[in-house]
């Protein structure tokens, strides 16, 4: 399977989602690789830092480009046992290619009107290309007006979204450069929904 993590906006939790989802998939016995297509190299730096501190990530993080993304399409698109999770920059040809080859695109977004506008723009691009996607709300704060409004906007627009939400947690922020422990901060649910969605799509 190829799961691409995409949002036209930066700083919304894409890299965190890629690493946490890959961790959940690896723990469920999938053969996982993360492809880092972002020139900022955040996922690669995360993996390098984890390795240097003796806490290596349980899957490879591979710098990738349009050619490697295309090769992944040949290698594992639709293959249930192999998961390639592609962490993307917020624009550019490699992001377009990662969209095209994906079995599913996850669109992480922070909540609030301005952030949701970008998530819907991303979702519309994906829908217009016939690509299966779901929006994932990250850094949520329970029982806030912002969260309620963002949820009702998702409903009103008929967008596809995860029931699971990722709460705003200082501890999660501090995971950059480390492996995850037992707690995946809600990403267990994201993994389960992703897996179910992909199975239903077959």
Interface residues with ligand ATP (CB under 6 A) are 10-16, 38, 40, 42, 90, 138-139, 166, 168-169, 172-173, 176
Tell me which residue has tokens 């995860």: 162
Of Mg ion, ligand ATP, none, which one does residue 10 interact with (CB within 5 to 8 Å by kind)? ligand ATP
- What is the smallest separation between the CB atom of 91 and ligand ATP, expressed in angstroms? 10
Q: Which is nearer to ligand ATP, 148 or 173 (CB)?
A: 173
Rounded to whole angstroms, how far apart are CA atoms 167 and 24? 17
Rounded to whole angstroms, how far apart are CA atoms 5 and 2? 10
Q: Of the candidates 27, 80, 107, which has an alpha carbon nearest to the alpha carbon of residue 200?
A: 80
Site size toward Mg ion, by CB under 5 A? 3
Q: Which is nearer to Mg ion, 15 or 165 (CB)?
A: 15
Of ligand ATP, Mg ion, none, which one does residue 98 interact with (CB within 5 to 8 Å by kind)? none
* Residue 15 interacting with Mg ion (CB under 5 A): yes
- What is the smallest separation between the CB atom of 104 and Mg ion, expressed in angstroms? 18
Of ligand ATP, Mg ion, none, which one does residue 194 interact with (CB within 5 to 8 Å by kind)? none
Q: Which is nearer to Mg ion, 2 or 19 (CB)?
A: 19
Nearest-10 crossing angle of helices 145-157, 113-128: 20
Tell me which residue has tokens 């996982």: 32
Q: Residue 26 CA to chain centroid, in angstroms?
A: 15
User: 55-84: b or e for each residue (b if 16 or more CB lie within 10 Å)?
Assistant: eebebebbebeeebbeebbeebeeeeebbb
- What is the smallest separation between the CB atom of 179 and ligand ATP, expressed in angstroms? 15
Q: Site residues (CB under 5 A) for Mg ion? A: 14-15, 42
């Amino acid at each position: 399977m190829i799961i691409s993590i995409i949002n036209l906006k930066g700083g919304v939790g894409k890299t965190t989602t890629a690493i946490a989802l890959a961790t959940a998939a690896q723990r469920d016995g999938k053969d996982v690789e993360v492809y880092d297509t972002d020139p900022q190299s955040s996922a690669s730096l995360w993996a390098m830092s984890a390795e240097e501190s003796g806490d290596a990530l349980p899957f490879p993080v591979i710098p990738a480009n349009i050619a490697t993304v295309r090769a992944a399409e040949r290698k594992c698109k639709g293959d249930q046992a192999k998961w390639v999770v592609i962490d993307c920059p917020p624009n550019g040809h490699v992001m377009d290619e990662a969209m095209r080859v994906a079995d599913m695109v996850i669109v992480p977004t922070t909540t609030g009107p301005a952030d949701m506008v970008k998530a819907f723009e991303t979702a519309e691009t994906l829908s217009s290309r016939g690509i299966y996607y779901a929006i994932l709300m990250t850094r949520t704060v329970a029982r806030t007006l912002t969260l309620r409004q963002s949820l009702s906007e998702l409903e009103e627009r008929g967008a596809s979204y995860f029931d699971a939400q990722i709460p705003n947690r200082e501890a999660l922020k501090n995971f950059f450069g480390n492996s995850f422990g037992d707690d995946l901060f809600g990403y267990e649910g994201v993994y389960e929904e992703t897996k179910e969605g992909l199975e239903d799509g077959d």
